[in-house]
């Protein structure tokens, strides 16, 4: 059976066929086709699993490397097996040894297969007997895709360098040789040595009272998948928000961050009331430099947060609600592979919105829901049918970074809004609480969720949801007709104001926009035509000062509009925005708009070369892909 045929079968029969299949043969090699199989990892968790991992690493800013060893404590599933397959990417492996108990270390043979640009290299450790502990001595590459090394000039303080990781989706393998799949969970410990003047942090038990010594030790007692292992080193200090939550940030940033995110403890309490206790002990935030490629990363105990959401009015703190929600959805209950990513982000988006509603009110929650629903409808217009499904077919050969979209986030959440409408909020909350409890600290597939769903929600409400509706939501393309509609009265007023301005009934300065929130401005901008006349852009700019805005959410939407409309007056501010920010969500729309013309591509390439040193490797790869094309003619 060819890989092409496997994919075709997956598309034609997404649920019943592949749910029961367990193994096929591709090019003479056995391939697991169950939904629990992870086609983005070389690991063989059915034969051997890493149960605990210990790191001993030195941080070298001059060489831009981590160097030391990792101890992999193994649980053998197959008593006859004698190999360990690990995921690596551009690691320099010096030697591998193994031992049992307190016995002597034995040198083990290892090979590293040729490099694949997406998956890195499979590392195979061969042994004559099964060892409980395997130690790998290695160094990372200066260009490791999961690490960003910042010069002092790229930080807020401009005095000390900064290092941070981004392991999701499959970048942990670029800084640790391990089983880099969400289907394997492990506890970990670490010893990290740094320059004495810097603080080291990990997604582990960071001590708010820790002193800078240059030698730090960590323990993560709860089992996590590899993509949640994280490290950061820099000139950061701590300020508390509550007894169990606080902010780590550079000294010049920390107070503004605490004020912006002061509602964090209230968010934790709200989520606990809805879905059960917070099981990770502390919940702290690390504010990273602007080069961080994402809005946030839900590393357990220490969410990494972009500074672009510190805008002074707490209007973008839904991001904190989102990363916190991952403590239940994603971190506690994890998708076993990228094809079931909706189990992570769709549930998290729903929980996020419930937190926002409880803390900030129903109207803000409604506005955020409408923005998400508009986003996913827009995104789907450029997708094929397979990409629009929640339960995806296997994704062999595809970079999981490229497979993530608003479908997993917003269509996934929309499915839960649909369930809420059909069975009632109280029943859905009870179901979700039970779901989080039942699968706590496990990695599951869509099949696991569906079985639990049928037993615990559908069976209790047999008339509420039809089988056809369930199949359409999970395996169908587009948004089902059964999708609930969300309205926002404040957005209705924004729609009226936009229509009045576009029809010349009112000038921009006459619009009643003085009390508009960030969400209302987003809705206003997203509802404008794809292109405007230059005089219209000038009018908007003179009235509202959108060019040069400090709000990244507005800049993300304003600058592409100026590019498409030929509003060259915004180019200097656009260039400054692209040089300052490395968050992919905010800058990629502008690069994509510029890439539509030779003139724009030439401008984008010039800006990119200036901005490149401050971009994360993930961001660099994304921009390079967009700007790839013929050079502009002289």
- The answer to which of 404-408, 411-415, 520-524 has the lowest mean pLDDT is 404-408
565 shares its domain with 597:
yes
Q: Which residue in 131, 138, 409, 559 is the catalytic one?
A: 409
Cα 320 to the center of its chain, rounded Å? 13
Residue 53 shares a structural domain with residue 180: yes
1 known member of a binding site: no
Name the strand (E) or helix (H) holding 72: strand 65-76
Residue 306 lies in a domain: yes
pLDDT score recorded for residue 630: 55
Which positions ≥6 away from 307 have C-beta within 8 Å? Answer: 156, 253, 257, 287, 288, 289, 290, 292
| 426 shares a domain with 441 | yes
Task: Please check if 349 is assigned to a binding site.
Answer: no
Among the candidates 324, 352, 383, a domain finishes at 324
Grade residue 629 by pLDDT with cuts at 50, 70 and 90: low
Model pLDDT, residue 382: 85
Query: Does the residue 295 lie in any domain?
Result: yes
Say how many domains are in the chain.
6
Say whether both 422 and 366 belong to one domain: yes
> What is the pLDDT, as a whole number, of residue 34?
66
Active site residue 283: no
The per-residue pLDDT for 618 is: 86
In this prediction, residue 119 carries a pLDDT of 93
Residue 504 contacts residue 536 (beta carbons within 8 Å): no
Q: What is the mean pLDDT of residues 295-316?
A: 95
Residue 152 lies in a domain: no
Residue 420 lies in a domain: yes
Q: With contact defined as beta carbons under 8 Å apart, do 616 and 148 qualify?
A: yes
Residue 154 annotated as part of some ligand binding site: no
Same structural domain, 463 and 534: no
Does 266 fall in a domain?
yes
What's the mean pLDDT in 40-46? 96
298 is in an annotated binding site: yes
Confidence (pLDDT) at 440: 98
Q: Kindly tell me if the per-residue pLDDT of 1 is higher than 50.
A: no
User: Which residue is catalytic, options 323, 352, 357, 520?
Assistant: 323
Is there a single domain that holds both residue 58 and residue 134?
A: yes
pLDDT, tens only, 430-480: 999 999 999 999 999 999 999 999 999 999 999 999 999 999 999 999 999
Average pLDDT for the chain: 92
CATH number of residue 462's parent domain: 1.10.390.10
Per-residue pLDDT for 32 more than 90? no
Residue 295 labeled ligand binder = yes
Q: Does residue 383 lie within any of the structural domains?
A: yes
- Nearest CA-CA partner of 30 in 9, 1, 71: 1
- 138 labelled as ligand-binding? no
- 0.85 exceeded by pTM: yes
- Tens digit of each residue's pLDDT (9 = 90 or more) over 66-115: 999 999 999 999 999 999 999 999 999 999 999 999 999 999 999 999 99
**Residue 246 lies in domain:** 236-324
The whole-number pLDDT of residue 304 equals: 98
Is 385 a known ligand-binding residue? no
Cα gap 29→551, rounded to integer Å: 52
- Residue 298 sits in a domain of what CATH number? 3.30.2010.30
Assess whether 30 and 45 both reside in one domain: no
* 326 marked as binding residue: yes
Tally of CB atoms within 10 A around 223: 17
Position 467 scores a pLDDT of 94
- Tell me if 155 is assigned to some domain: no
- What is the percentage of the chain residues whose pLDDT exceeds 90? 89
d(CA 279, CA 437): 11
Find out whether 607 and 579 touch, Cβ atoms under 8 Å.
yes
Q: Are residues 95 and 187 in the same domain?
A: yes
Token couple for 128: 């004559």
Whether 381 and 469 share a structural domain: yes
- The answer to whether residues 73 and 169 belong to one domain is yes
What DSSP state is assigned to residue 388? G
In a domain, 166, yes or no: yes
pLDDT of 226 over the 80 cut: yes
What mean pLDDT comes out for the span 159-183? Answer: 97
CATH of the domain at 209: 2.60.40.1730
Same domain, 467 and 532: no
d(CA 63, CA 98): 29
Whether 507 and 613 share a structural domain: no
409 catalytically annotated: yes
């Amino acid at each position: 059976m060819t890989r092409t045929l496997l994919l075709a079968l997956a598309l034609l029969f997404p649920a019943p066929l592949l749910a029961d299949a367990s193994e096929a043969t591709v090019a003479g090699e056995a391939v697991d086709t169950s939904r629990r199989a992870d086609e983005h990892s070389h690991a063989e968790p059915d034969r051997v699993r890493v149960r605990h991992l210990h790191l001993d690493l030195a941080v070298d800013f001059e060489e831009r490397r981590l160097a030391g060893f990792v101890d992999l404590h193994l649980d053998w599933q197959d008593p006859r097996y004698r190999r360990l397959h690990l995921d690596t990417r551009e690691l320099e492996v010096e030697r591998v040894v193994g031992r049992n108990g307190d016995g002597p270390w034995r040198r083990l043979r290892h090979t590293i297969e040729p490099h694949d640009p997406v998956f890195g290299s499979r590392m195979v450790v061969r042994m004559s007997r099964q060892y409980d502990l395997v130690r790998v001595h290695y160094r990372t590459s200066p260009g490791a895709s999961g690490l960003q090394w910042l010069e002092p000039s790229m930080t807020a303080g401009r005095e000390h360098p900064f290092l941070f990781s981004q392991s999701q989706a499959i970048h942990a393998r670029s800084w640790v040789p391990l089983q880099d799949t969400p289907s394997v969970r492990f506890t970990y410990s670490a010893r990290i040595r740094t320059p004495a003047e810097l603080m080291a942090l990990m997604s582990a038990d960071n001590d708010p009272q820790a002193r800078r010594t240059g030698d730090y030790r960590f323990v993560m007692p709860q089992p996590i998948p590899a993509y949640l292992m994280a490290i950061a080193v820099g000139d950061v200090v701590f300020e508390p928000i509550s007894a169990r939550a606080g902010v780590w940030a550079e000294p010049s940033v920390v107070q503004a961050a605490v004020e912006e995110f002061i509602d964090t403890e209230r968010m934790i309490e709200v989520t606990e009331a809805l879905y059960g206790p917070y099981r990770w002990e502390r919940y702290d935030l690390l504010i990273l430099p602007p080069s961080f490629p994402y809005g946030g990363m839900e590393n357990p105990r220490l969410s990494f947060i972009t500074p672009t959401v510190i805008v002074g009015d707490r209007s973008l703190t839904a991001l904190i609600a989102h990363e916190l929600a991952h403590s239940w959805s994603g971190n506690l209950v994890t998708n076993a592979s990228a094809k079931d990513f909706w189990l992570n982000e769709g549930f998290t988006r729903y929980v996020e919105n419930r937190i926002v509603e409880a803390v900030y009110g129903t109207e803000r929650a409604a506005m955020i829901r409408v923005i998400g629903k508009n986003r996913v409808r827009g995104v789907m217009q450029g997708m094929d049918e397979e990409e629009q499904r929640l339960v995806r077919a296997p994704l062999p050969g595809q970079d999981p970074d490229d497979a993530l979209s608003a479908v997993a986030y917003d269509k996934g959440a929309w499915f839960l809004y649909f369930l809420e409408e059909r069975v009632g909020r109280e029943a859905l909350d009870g179901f979700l609480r039970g779901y989080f409890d039942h699968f706590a600290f496990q990695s599951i597939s869509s099949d696991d969720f569906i079985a639990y769903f049928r037993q615990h929600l559908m069976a209790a409400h047999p008339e509420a949801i039809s089988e056809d509706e369930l199949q359409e939501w999970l395996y169908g393309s587009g948004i089902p007709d059964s999708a609930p509609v969300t309205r926002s009265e404040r957005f209705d007023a924004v729609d009226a104001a936009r229509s009045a301005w576009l029809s010349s009934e009112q000038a921009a300065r006459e619009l009643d926009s003085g009390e508009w929130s960030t969400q209302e401005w987003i809705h206003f901008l997203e509802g404008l035509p794809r292109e405007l006349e230059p005089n219209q852009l000038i009018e908007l700019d003179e009235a509202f000062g959108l060019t040069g805005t400090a709000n990244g959410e507005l800049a993300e939407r304003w600058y592409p509009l100026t590019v498409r409309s030929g509003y060259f007056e915004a180019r200097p501010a656009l260039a400054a925005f692209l040089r300052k920010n490395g968050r992919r969500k905010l800058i990629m729309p502008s690069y994509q708009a510029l890439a539509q013309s030779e003139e724009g591509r030439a401008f984008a390439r010039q800006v990119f070369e200036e901005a490149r040193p401050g971009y994360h490797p993930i961001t660099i790869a994304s921009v390079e892909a967009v700007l790839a094309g013929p050079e502009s003619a002289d």
